[in-house]
Structure 1
């Protein structure tokens, strides 16, 4: 009887070991940049009604400078840059922004749309001024190789894939929580001899400024 009891006990223990359940453990999380927002006080720059008689038929026609404040706010300090895309690139008048300086080639030339007859209306350049990061005045820089090399600029924004960012002291993109400044627009119209003035012409510039984490 003792032998049978011992055998029964051994079988019971073996069954008990086989019934142990497995439990899965997962380790999750993410490494993500601080959330940042980019806001323009005025997202539309309006030149109102322009009298055709005030425009030249033989020369390009610069318009007054316009501007709007902007602010970038981040939940925690972050390095960011802006990429500018011209959504009216097909309408640009080649070389028109060279009127503002030899450095403003077509990489800085944003189109103002077309007339109903398909004529190119003009162009404009974008540039930043008075940038302040976390209470301190900062400088503007650009990279033409996706952040590999940076160079200081006066403020004009070349189009994508060029990146525009900020620096102070060390010549590398600066971390900040809040940055504010002014976005300026310098528009210039085509010669009126190249435009059909019998119908209303509506300026239709459209650019996208995208915030990128770097």
Structure 2
């Protein structure tokens, strides 16, 4: 009887209350892109060894022989992505440019030099593609340059570097699941007459490579 009375009371009382004629429905969730994991060989270290000051120009910048490093990118599923890099020694490069990165400062605060990271499409393999072409964007992916076989350099900020399966395509990167590449790191050292050579000068370049999902 208590249950019946309570139910009846609710029915009788309902017309006396101010009823709401609307109710909110919230639908929540998130869709995340397939995750991609980049890795560099050798722990990401490119060692140019010991360089004699006698092998460097006193008045001109000296370009050292490039050194290779392997890159692999593995995704959970085919994914459209591009790459960019952040200079962790920002402000120390000899040239202020989005494709050149700093080597740090010597003991007197002089800029040691710069380095760049080169991508050669002929040294890149991706999934079952017979040939990988490089495409890049200087507008954070709003537009893409025609894909080609030219050596390109990874850039910072709004500069993106991607990979295509079609020569001349301006559609941007294609979905890729697994990619491997041999990159070349090119170092340029400042003229020795602008450096403090009274002690060892240690290269201190460091950059963070980022996968950008498109």
Matched, 1:164 2:169: no
Instruction: Classify the secondary structure of the residue corresponding to 2:54.
Output: helix
CA 1:125–1:36: 2 relative to 1, 3 Å: same
Q: Give the match for residue 3 of structure 1.
A: none
Q: Give the match for residue 75 of structure 2.
A: 74
Instruction: Classify the secondary structure of the residue corresponding to 1:107.
Output: coil
Q: Give the match for residue 142 of structure 2.
A: 148
Segments of 4+ moved more than 4 angstroms: 10-13, 15-18, 25-28
Alpha-carbon separation, structure 2, partners of 1:56 and 1:177: 45
Alpha-carbon separation, structure 2, partners of 1:39 and 1:201: 28
Counting only pairs closer than 5 Å after superposition, residues 200-211 of structure 1 correspond to structure 2 as 200-211=200-211
Q: Give the match for residue 44 of structure 1.
A: 45
Cα displacement (A) at 1:83: 1.5
Unaligned runs of 5+ in 2: 13-24
Q: Deviations over 1:163-209 (max 9, x none)?
A: 11111124321101101111210101011111111111000111111
Matched, 1:127 2:118: yes
Cα displacement (A) at 1:40: 0.6
Mean CA deviation greater in 195-204 or 148-157: 148-157
Alpha-carbon RMSD: 2.4
Mean CA deviation greater in 202-211 or 135-144: 135-144
Q: Give the match for residue 193 of structure 2.
A: 193
CA 1:14–1:84: 2 relative to 1, 3 Å: same
Q: Give the match for residue 87 of structure 1.
A: 88
Q: Deviations over 1:114-134 (max 9, x none)?
A: 001001111111111212110
Counting only pairs closer than 5 Å after superposition, residues 25-36 of structure 1 correspond to structure 2 as 28-36=28-36
Unaligned runs of 5+ in 1: 1-9, 19-24, 96-105
Q: How does the TM-score come out when normalised to structure 1?
A: 0.81
Counting only pairs closer than 5 Å after superposition, residues 44-63 of structure 1 correspond to structure 2 as 44-63=45-64
Q: Looking at CA atoms only, which structure, 1 or 2, has the larger radius of gyration? A: 1
| Greater helix fraction, Structure 1 or Structure 2 | 1
